[in-house]
Structure 1
Amino acid sequence: MQQTTSGEDEFREYVMTRGPALLRAAHQLTGHPLDAEDLLQNALAKTYLAWDRIEDRGALDGYVRRAMVNINISQWRRRKLEEYPSDELPEVVEHEPGGSSEVHEALEQALRELPERMRAAIVLRYYEDMTEPEIAKTLGISVGTVKSTVSRAMAKLRAALGLPS
């Protein structure tokens, strides 16, 4: 379906307005800035194709976030078959100082070190404020698994940040 010029303008305005916030959510899901950009771009491409069918413009952020989660889950599943352990550690990327507090940077680092499912559960629960049933549906797991995953992830984050349990 071809977008109308007004639909294209409306989509462009949406991306300009909400893009930075959506990119932050994508970064929380992936843990890597370049992966976040790719994830958001893929989600926005899907959103653009469905633009004329999305009647509730107030639900656009939710639509894009759901697309990002679904795309990210699909990528995990593909990577499980493609990634193998290595004896060599990757280079550590140094972040330039500025703007962020040490606690924020430590939290970001601790989030990046979590396994992908744990990171997704934490991001959806505490950054996207989704309920446990919503997270379960999004990730395709049971509510009990969401609870235990979030609990274990929070314990790992507390330990990484040196906080009491």
Structure 2
Amino acid sequence: MTERELFDAYNKDVYRTCYYMLRNAQDAEDLCHDVFVTVFRQEWRNVEHTRAWIMRITMNHCLNLLRRNQTQREKQSQVQWLHEQTTASVKSVDTIVLEKAATAEWEKLLNQLPDKLMAVITLRYIGELSMTEIAETLKIPVGTVKSRLHKALKIMRKKLEQNHSIWLKGEKQYGTH
């Protein structure tokens, strides 16, 4: 496999992961470039689990940047890429509005998670990695992956339930329900 073939095979996964972790297209592009510079400087042809290895490098780069820019995370823009993907086909206005709301709520929930939990959620649901691949990527036991995933989903579920009950109270108060 050539460097170009390796890049073509994993570029989208790396970019998508960077984008969801950083919430900024330019930072994601820059970090994606940095990841492949790092990969190509290594003996990547000798790596047994190439995808997991590249995703581990990607996640490490993302977490390092997040640590350096901790205060900027809340200020970063919404997920444009996901919006463009979901509205690519012709949809009703109602569907588009609902999807925008769901995307915004998902992003808000992700932003409220600690970095370790956000990393597991991102790799699992955005990167579509298996539990084993996540464990290899983050260099943690599979049990830790499962517990972090469980904890993150529990936190997100609780926040969703709180938001839903606030919304229902508002509807009852204004007689719109």
Q: What TM-score, normalized to structure 1?
A: 0.62
Residues in 1 aligned to 2:56 and 2:36: alpha-carbon distance in whole angstroms: 11
| Partner residue in 2 for 1:67 | 57
Report the counterpart of residue 158 of structure 1 in structure 2: 157
Residue type matched to 2:6 in 1?
Y
Q: CA 1:69 to 1:157, structure 2 compared with 1: closer, same or farther past 3 Å?
A: same
Tell me the equivalent position of 1:43: 35
Identity, % of aligned positions: 26
- Indicate yes or no: 2:24 matched with 1:32: yes
Residues 124 and 130 in structure 2, CA contact (< 8 A), matched pair in contact too: yes
Computing the radius of gyration over CA atoms, which structure comes out larger, 1 or 2? 2
Unmatched segments (≥5 aa) in structure 2 = 87-98, 165-177
Count of paired positions: 147
| TM-score normalized with structure 2 length | 0.59
Aligned to 1:54, the other structure's residue is in SS state helix
Query: How far 1:40 sits from its partner (Å)?
Result: 1.6
- Could you list the structure 1 runs, at least 4 aligned residues long, displaced by more than 6 angstroms after superposition: none
Range 63-72 or range 25-34, more displaced: 25-34
Q: How does 1:3-152 map to 2 (within 5 A)?
A: 10-16=2-8, 18-50=10-42, 53-55=44-46, 59-75=49-65, 79=68, 93=77, 98-100=84-86, 101-102=99-100, 103-126=102-125, 127-131=127-131, 135-136=134-135, 138-141=137-140, 144-152=143-151
Which structure has more helix as a fraction of its residues?
Answer: 2
Deviations 1:123-164 (A, max 9, x none): 2333332326x5455435555543332222102222444499
Root-mean-square deviation (CA, aligned residues, Å) is 3.8
Do the aligned partners of 2:23 and 2:77 also contact (CA within 8 Å) in 1?
no
**Residue 117 (structure 1) shift:** 0.8
Native 8 Å contact 2:124 2:131 kept in 1: yes
Q: Which deviates more, 145-154 or 113-122?
A: 145-154
